[in-house]
Chain A
Amino acid sequence: MGLRIENLRKEFGELVAVKDLSLTVETGEFVSLLGPSGCGKSTTLNMIAGLLYPTSGRIFIDDVLVNELPPRDRKIGLVFQNYAVFNHMTVYDNLAFGLKIRKTPSNEIDQRVKEVADFLRITDVMKRRAGGLRLDQLQRIAIGRSMIVRPDLFLLDEPLSNLDAALRAVMRVELKKMQKELKQTVMYVTHDQLEAMTMSERIAVMNKGELQQYDTPTVIYHHPKNRFVANFIGSPSMNFIDCSLLEKEGKALLDAGVFTIDITEFHEMIKAQVTSSELVMGVRPEDIEIMNQPSGAGSVPTSVYLVEPLGAKSVVSVSIGNTIIKALTPGAFKAGVGETKWIRYEKDKIHIMDKKTGKVAV
């Protein structure tokens, strides 16, 4: 088991940054720690690295309890958000640092540095001072110097947030490739859900210090466990409509004011998990179809509020009653503000949540 965390908790005086976090990462797995700023993901990473001492809980790297070990004994690699390269040293010395500290013989150092430099394609700047190089070069150096000591666990703290969008896309692919080649166990911290979704085998979503859900990207996308996860994943984000549960004539209906949905088949399941009949309905924009004519039962009339063209697709905001929801349409779709359109959805793409707790029932 590459990494195992049990009931990790970190308090800073009154503030609880990480609450009772438990998860495991398999050897060779790429896992993301995803969440908004301040959710505790960097704190967690620092505890795994040994730079912060947990208030309680245990951390195992390769089944070894590391709580009491200083960072240098933990066999980990760490890449910072701002790379933190040793500016006053040459690229060579940066890469060689970890080995020099461990008193590796110099011909071995030489060889391994060359290997890593080739792999990361930074051989051309080997002799230069690390201080003046480009961001992507700095990042490679940061990765390289961690790689070279062959850590059991690789930790990355938002490594791509300093790069522009184009570079980011390129690096995402590269990083993933590298990880696969080296069969490295990776924990990747980010606030960008796109990064997490495209790169990870599993994602741990965190909010306010608590683990919300820990699953593969597909599961998280299709079956979010609560409102937070549902809202955080997916771009544009999910639509939420308040509604209430009605029982009428033996059927269970979801009443959203302007329209109702028959959900009798889910009735039992829902009733078991909700605290009241105040519910929230969630639908992703990509699961909503906008049509120019009503078509079949379940079509709801709406009025167009805003159209945002994105090129290949457009985001059309329509109003129903007094809520506005967004739908993803092909770019060619034409809609003028105020026009009436009809929307349709698929029943099994709806997520029904308890309004208060946010837990998803379906």
Chain B
Amino acid sequence: MNRRASGIVRSLFRYAAVVFACLLALFPIYWMFSTSIKLPDEWVATPSVWFPSKPVLINYQFIFSGSYEYLIGRRPEEATQFYSFAWSSMKPIFDSLILSTFGTLIALFAGTLSAYALSRYGPKGAPPPVFPLMYRMFPPVAIIVPVVIMYATLKLTDTYPGIIILYSTLTVPLVLWLMKSFFDEIPREIDEAAILDGCSLFGAFYRGVLPLVKAGLAVTGLFIFMLDWSDFMGVLLLGGRNVVTIPLKLAEYTSGHGELYGPMAAMGTIAVIPPLIFGILIQKYLVRGFTFGAIKG
């Protein structure tokens, strides 16, 4: 066959395959989104409803305000169930934000400083005694028992600071490795130049090198934020009443009141939006993030 022609055929196959892959990737997310805009009787139906016949926003309204629109005509017990759900829907979103933001900031702070020390002065200069890389690889469930005990004793259970510190500790090794790889890309000459200009060692860091890794900082920050935002086991074991994040909220309702698919889907949709956006933003760096800097993507 003519080479040009076979090239075109190959492209067509590729496009078909790529599109198919994209459909597979999108479908579950689409399903959740479409459920979030469906009317209650369409949530679970046989046969399943692929396209909502009348897209509505009541599920979202419900989360945020507990609108009564579709409560009219419902039995009183159902109404109360819906109502209590609504009451507590804003809180998970809020809590997730707080925990993720502060968790990220602290991890960034601690990790970046150590990363700089490690990058410039080698392992004997810098502190982490346990191999940080390994640390990230341990299942949280492995250390969760003692942590739960500690927190109970220190009365840190179900508090914001308690969980924030946990998040920071879990992600700080990752920050270390990522930021180190970014620092390693900056030549030592910059530090030396800054010192020659009269900066202290700290100044060399703060004024000389740090501005240059701003991008790396942003990328790492977004990545850690995504991880914290996705956390589930942490709040499962250490949260509950006072601190509730979105994943936790979802869990509460699957074990029992499983019928509220609409609002749950709505909350799920809201939950995935920040990571999705961040993920697309830092797309290029995802490989580096997930492989702890081992591979520069």
Contacts and interface: CB of A to CB of B under 8 A. Distances in A.
Interface of A: 53, 67-68, 70
A53 to B, nearest CB: 6
A35 B1 CA distance: 35
B3 interface: yes
Majority secondary structure, A binding face: loop
Nearest to B7: A53
Contacts of B2: 68
B109 to A, nearest CB: 44
A68 B4 CA distance: 8
A53 B3 CA distance: 9
Nearest to B5: A68
A53 B4 CA distance: 9
B9 to A, nearest CB: 14
A58 to B, nearest CB: 13
Contacts of B3: 53, 67-68, 70
7 contacts: A53-B3, A53-B4, A67-B3, A68-B1, A68-B2, A68-B3, A70-B3
Contacts of A53: 3-4
Contacts of A68: 1-3
A212 to B, nearest CB: 30
B156 to A, nearest CB: 54
From B1, B2, B3, B4, residue with most partner A Cβ within 10 Å: B3
Interface string B1-32: 11110000000000000000000000000000
Contacts of A70: 3
Nearest to B1: A68
B217 to A, nearest CB: 38
A59 to B, nearest CB: 12
Query: 7 shortest A-B CB distances, which residue pairs?
Result: A68-B3, A68-B2, A53-B3, A70-B3, A53-B4, A67-B3, A68-B1
A67 B2 CA distance: 9
Contacts of B1: 68
From A53, A67, A68, A70, residue with most partner B Cβ within 10 Å: A68
Contacts of A67: 3
Nearest to A50: B3
A53 B2 CA distance: 11
A67 B1 CA distance: 11
Contacts of B4: 53
A67 B4 CA distance: 11
Interface in B67-88: none
A68 B2 CA distance: 6
A70 B3 CA distance: 8
A70 B1 CA distance: 10
B210 to A, nearest CB: 40
A59 B3 CA distance: 14
A247 B4 CA distance: 60
A126 to B, nearest CB: 35
A359 to B, nearest CB: 38
Nearest to A53: B3
A70 B4 CA distance: 11
Nearest to A69: B3
B7 to A, nearest CB: 8
Nearest to A70: B3
